[in-house]
Structure 1
Amino acid sequence: MRPSGLIISVVLLLALVVTPRLISSQEAPVPVVLWHGMGDSCCNPLSMGVIKSLIEENIPGVYVLSVRIGDSVVEDVENSFLMNLNKQIDMVCKQFSNDPNLEMGFNAVGFSQGGQFLRGLVQRCSGLKVQNLISIGGQHQGVFGLPKCPVGLHICEYVRELLTKGAYEEYVCACVIVQAEYWHDPLQEDVYRRKSVFLADINQERSVNTTYRENLIKLKNFVLVKFNNETVVVPNESEWFGYYREGQEKEVIDLKDSDIYIKDKLGLKVLDESKRLHFLSLDGDHIMFTRKWFVENIINPYLK
């Protein structure tokens, strides 16, 4: 029996309308967003510019968005020191939510403090569809020291001076020092829990926000990269959620020995047991890695 002209027409129509959409959906690369670290900017040709180009070279046609806080590159650098983190995350949440290129989901890569900022975004901004979250040198349990700051920036001395005087004092908070918002003093844990305006919240130190936990558990993968010869993040175990045992500043306990993991306040235990929490390390100082390493360990397994 020969097919009628109507059936042939319907088949041809489906081939023209349905098939291309299926192919497009399968072949479209997942977008990537980047959030830079302290003293850097979205578009620095020696840092985020290199990363953006590297991703585009290895994933043809991918949409890459590098976060800029402010109306210019100069403002972006300044705001990495001087804009309230809660405000920054609200701004980025709205920006990403209104970007049609990101509505079907995206991968997120944070560098240094950008790592915990993106985690805060994932936990708080429920409408986003983040697939893989990658933190490269992020300080997820905070820092207790600021030994190095980008060379040549006078603002570094200003920030160091204020943090030394008292990271939790009202006049420091009033100056909106970003680094004070993830300053974690193990000698004053009670003060940290009460007065931390950012880190204690996203780490569920005061109470457990179930939305934060549920949003993090939705990730396909959460990747934590630690630098073994770190001279910027003190202690460097913070990059893997480790930190000083309360009351002193020498003994460091691992993530799996901490309340965050044991009580599973963030869902990290769930991610770990389902093999979606990954710990990478490499020799080198803060955010020091080769293009080859980034391609083999980040782009190929998590961004492609």
Structure 2
Amino acid sequence: MTPVVLWFLLVVPVVLVASRPAQGSANGTLPLVMWHGMGDSCCNPLSLGAIKKMIQQEIPGIYVLSLMIGNNVVEDTKNGFFMDVNDQVSMVCSQLSGNPQLKGGYNAMGFSQGAQFLRAVAQRCPSPPMKTLISVGGQHQGVYGLPRCPGEASHICDMIRKALNTEAYSDLVQKHLVQAQYWHDPLNDDLYKKHSLFLADINQERVVNETYKKNLQMLEKFVMVKFLQDSVVDPVDSEWFGFLKTGQAKEMETLQESVLYKEDRLGLAAMDKAGKLVFLATQGDHLQFTKEWFDANLLPYLR
């Protein structure tokens, strides 16, 4: 079957929310909250809209709601590039907490940058409770390169690349460019830890916030999907919480080899030992998979 190609242009933050009414979905299934990636929107019929329809066909009666970051689709797309991630997360937390349909809890699925944004929701906003988080190509240790953005001729891509390569940790760029907030430069670790407004905070790289740690461990499952031919996420190991070793830009380390895991700053080591972490891999480029693979590997976590 022809793959379902979900090119969210790059590191996309998207929100599709499947939630159930106050009395529960028609079939008793938990609601699902989805967040799209950069360059996508809540309501794109070729990406998140198609995923929503596919899930509803496979799980009849599930209630799906797509969260919009902004007042319309244009704002939603633009905010994926330029709205402070912390403000985006706060906006989503408010929407979820004010929705009576989600009181019993929900599952979450994030695509590309939307995956780490949903992890921030889990860490910062435990009510209503997130039960399972599915990260589809999410960059949990950030990125150190933009190989496609979405093409060499893109003016906005050139602008983003130049800003990240020279001024990623300046106050101006950090506050106004989403991708800078999860730019992780292993050659400038002190600058990253000091000035990263988003990623260094949710990854507990300055101080350990025990509330973040406790909230994340409330997840029943944390599923991470890595794309083995990913040409967009650099380094691709970030999709499994791995990254480049500090001080150089060639040698990788896995999550289990990292200080983050060894000191258990997020509670991931405890979750791993409890069988809560699930590492999945699929052939294909970024966010490119078949319906058969999705049905076999991800739908079981939503039923």
Give the TM-score normalised by the residue count of structure 2: 0.89
How far the C-alpha of 1:290 sits from its partner, in A, is 0.8
Distance in 2 (CA, whole Å) between partners of 1:59 and 1:112 is: 24
Unmatched segments (≥5 aa) in structure 2? 1-22
Aligned residues: 280
Are the equivalent residues in 2 in contact too, given 1:63–1:101 (CA < 8 A)?
Answer: no
Q: 1:59–1:183: structure 2 CA closer, same or farther, 3 Å change rule? A: same
Q: 1:287–1:298: structure 2 CA closer, same or farther, 3 Å change rule? A: same
Distance in 2 (CA, whole Å) between partners of 1:170 and 1:133 is: 31
Matches within 5 A, 1:246-265: 246-265=246-265
How far the C-alpha of 1:24 sits from its partner, in A, is 7.1
**2:64 paired with 1:32:** no
Are the equivalent residues in 2 in contact too, given 1:35–1:114 (CA < 8 A)?
Answer: yes
How far the C-alpha of 1:25 sits from its partner, in A, is 8.7
Aligned-partner SS, 2:207: coil
Q: Identity across aligned pairs (percent)?
A: 54
Q: What letter matches 1:171 in structure 2?
A: L
How far the C-alpha of 1:149 sits from its partner, in A, is 1.8
In structure 2, the partner of 1:158 is: 159
Distance in 2 (CA, whole Å) between partners of 1:185 and 1:76 is: 28
Aligned-partner SS, 2:288: coil
1:133-152 per-residue CA deviation (whole Å, 9 max, x = no partner) reads 00000000000011112358
How far the C-alpha of 1:153 sits from its partner, in A, is 6.0
Distance in 1 (CA, whole Å) between partners of 2:62 and 2:234 is: 35
How far the C-alpha of 1:170 sits from its partner, in A, is 2.7
1:217-238 per-residue CA deviation (whole Å, 9 max, x = no partner) reads 1111000000111111110000
In structure 1, the partner of 2:168 is: 167
Are the equivalent residues in 1 in contact too, given 2:27–2:62 (CA < 8 A)?
Answer: no
Q: What letter matches 2:287 in structure 1?
A: I
In structure 2, the partner of 1:65 is: 65
Distance in 2 (CA, whole Å) between partners of 1:173 and 1:43 is: 27
In structure 1, the partner of 2:122 is: 122
154-163 vs 105-114, greater mean Cα deviation: 154-163
Matches within 5 A, 1:1-150: 27-150=27-150
Distance in 1 (CA, whole Å) between partners of 2:262 and 2:94 is: 33
1:8-36 per-residue CA deviation (whole Å, 9 max, x = no partner) reads xxxxxxxxxxxxxxx97994111001100
How far the C-alpha of 1:126 sits from its partner, in A, is 2.3
How far the C-alpha of 1:171 sits from its partner, in A, is 3.1
Aligned-partner SS, 1:286: coil
Q: 1:26–1:276: structure 2 CA closer, same or farther, 3 Å change rule? A: farther
Distance in 2 (CA, whole Å) between partners of 1:24 and 1:142 is: 36
In structure 2, the partner of 1:283 is: 283
Aligned-partner SS, 1:109: strand
Are the equivalent residues in 2 in contact too, given 1:36–1:67 (CA < 8 A)?
Answer: no
Are the equivalent residues in 1 in contact too, given 2:39–2:77 (CA < 8 A)?
Answer: yes
In structure 1, the partner of 2:302 is: 303
Q: 1:25–1:84: structure 2 CA closer, same or farther, 3 Å change rule? A: closer
Distance in 2 (CA, whole Å) between partners of 1:79 and 1:26 is: 33
Are the equivalent residues in 2 in contact too, given 1:141–1:242 (CA < 8 A)?
Answer: yes
- RMSD, matched Cα: 1.6
Distance in 2 (CA, whole Å) between partners of 1:190 and 1:50 is: 42
Matches within 5 A, 1:171-250: 171-174=172-175, 176-250=176-250
Q: Which has the higher contact order (CA 8 A, sep 6+)?
A: 2
Are the equivalent residues in 1 in contact too, given 2:174–2:196 (CA < 8 A)?
Answer: no
Q: 1:61–1:27: structure 2 CA closer, same or farther, 3 Å change rule? A: closer
Distance in 2 (CA, whole Å) between partners of 1:134 and 1:24 is: 21
Distance in 1 (CA, whole Å) between partners of 2:239 and 2:87 is: 23
